[in-house]
Amino acid sequence: MNSNLNLLQPYPFQRLRELFKGVTPNSKLDPINLSIGEPKHATPALIQQALIDNLSGLANYPTTIGVSALREAISHWIARRYAIPAPNPETSILPVNGSREALFSFAQAVIDPKHLKPIVISPNPFYQIYEGATFLAGAEPYFLNTTPENQHAMDFTSVPKEVLNRTQLVYVCSPGNPSGKIMDLSQWKTLFELSDQYGFVIAADECYSEIYFNESKPPLGALQAAHLLGRDFHHLVIFSSLSKRSNVPGMRSGFVAGDPQIIEKFTLYRTYHGCAMSPAIQAASTTAWNDETHVIENRKLYAEKLMTVTPILKKVWPHIEMPDAAFYLWVNTEQADTDLAIRLYRDLNITVLPGSYLARDAHNTNPGKGFIRMALVASVYECVEAAHRILSLK
C-alpha cells in the first residue's frame, strides 16, 4: 500500500463520532444537527425535471470534457457573475464531479515529486481535502494560521522564502470554510505576485461563492480579481460547485476553470482517472447554471437564518459576528471546544463541530482551538430553536 496513506488523519466527523461515544443526548429534545455543511433546502423542481428528462443519457459513456452546452453555460455564468469576459469553453473550462474530488485530484496532477520535497500551502483551519491531497501527491503541507484577532485569512507575506522556493501549489478558500471571510483584491494581488515570482499554482476553492447576503455586493472571485488587476489566468484555477448554490449535493456537479495549459493537462489526467460526469447530470447541471432565480431564493433563506440566529447567540458569545458569506457561524467561545461540543450534544441535543478538528497544530498553536463551527443548514425553525436552547448556557 502507498505509505502516504499512513499520514492521513481521521476525518473531522469520524473524530466527532469518537468524541460522542458513551454520551447520551437529551431525549426530551429533538436532535438538531449543525455539524456538517450539507445543504438541506429543497432541490429546485426545474433541476429535478431536467434530470428526469435526460435519463436516456444513461445509455451512453460520457466524455471527460463534457458536452459543449454545459461548458458554454458555465462560461456564460462566469461572465455574468464576475463581470469578466467569458472564458473559452473549449480550453478554459472542465466539468467535474463536485469540487471535492477535483480539489483532491488536482494535487496529483500538479505536484512534481521529483523536485526538491514539494510543499503545498493551505489555510489553517481548512477543508481537510487539501491536506489529504497534499500527502497523497507526495508533498508536505505548510499551514498558514488565522487567529481570533484576524480571521481574514492567510498572510502570504509571512511565508519564509525557503518555503516558497519549494511551494508548487497553494490552496485558498474564499469565501472561507469555516470563517466565511472573503479575500480582498490586495490579498489576491500579493498572492499573484508570489505565484509569478516562485512559479506555484493557485487552486481557488469557491464552492461557497453564491451564499452571500447583499445582492448588490457578491464576493470577489479569483478570476475576477485577476481581470481587475489586468492579468490573464496564468497559474490560476478555480473550483466551483452546484451543491451549495443549487441544493444538489447528491448530483456531485461542479467545474474547474482558469489557466488553459493547466486545464489541458488536468483533462489528460482525468481521462485516465475515469471520472467523467454522467450525461443526465450534465443536462441537469446546464439547467442549474442557466437559472439564477432559485439561487436568489436560496440566499434569502440563509440570510434569514444567520440574521436571526446571530443576535441571539451574541448574548452567550459576545464575539460572534455574521460571516461575510457562506452558511457557517465560526464562533470564538473562549472555552474548550471539545468539552462544549459534548455539553451541547448531551444537554441540548445539538451537534456542532469543534474548531480544533478543522485545524492542525502549526507554529506552536491550533488556531481552531476554542472555536466551534455551526452549519446553519437546517430549517429556519430548527436553527432558531437551537439558538434559544443555547441561551440556557449563559
Q: Convert the pLDDT of each residue in 155-214 to its tens digit.
A: 899 999 999 999 999 999 999 999 999 999 999 999 999 999 999 999 999 999 999 999
What's the average model confidence in pLDDT over 287-292? Answer: 98
The reported pLDDT for the residue numbered 69 is 98
Task: Determine contact, residues 151/209, Cβ cutoff 8 Å.
Answer: no
Q: Is the pLDDT assigned to residue 148 strictly greater than 70? A: no
The reported pLDDT for the residue numbered 155 is 86
Q: Is the pLDDT assigned to residue 36 strictly greater than 80? A: yes
The reported pLDDT for the residue numbered 147 is 63
What's the pTM value of the predicted model, to 2 decimals?
0.96
Q: Is the pLDDT assigned to residue 153 strictly greater than 90? A: no
Rounded to the nearest integer, the mean pLDDT of the chain is 95
Q: How confident is the model at residue 291 (pLDDT cuts 50, 70, 90)?
A: very high
Q: Is the pLDDT assigned to residue 116 strictly greater than 90? A: no
All three cell numbers of 171, joined, read: 490552496
C-beta neighbour count of 275 within 10 angstroms: 17
For each of the domains in the chain, give its residue range(s) and CATH number, in order of start: 3-42+294-393 (3.90.1150.10), 59-290 (3.40.640.10)
* Inter-CA distances, 243 with 168, 255, 275, 309, 312, Å: 28, 11, 18, 23, 28
Distance from C-alpha of 264 to C-alpha of 3, rounded to nearest angstrom: 30
The reported pLDDT for the residue numbered 149 is 56
What's the average model confidence in pLDDT over 287-302? Answer: 97
Q: Convert the pLDDT of each residue in 205-250 to its tens digit.
A: 999 999 999 999 999 999 999 999 999 999 999 999 999 999 999 9
The reported pLDDT for the residue numbered 110 is 97
Exposed, middle or buried: residue 204 (CB in 10 Å: 0-12, 13-18, 19+)?
Answer: buried
What's the average model confidence in pLDDT over 356-371? Answer: 95
Q: Is the pLDDT assigned to residue 59 strictly greater than 90? A: yes
What's the average model confidence in pLDDT over 366-371? Answer: 95
Percent of the chain with pLDDT over 90: 95
Q: Convert the pLDDT of each residue in 61-102 to its tens digit.
A: 999 999 999 999 999 999 999 999 999 999 999 999 999 999
Residues forming beta bridges with residue 140, ordered by sequence position: 119
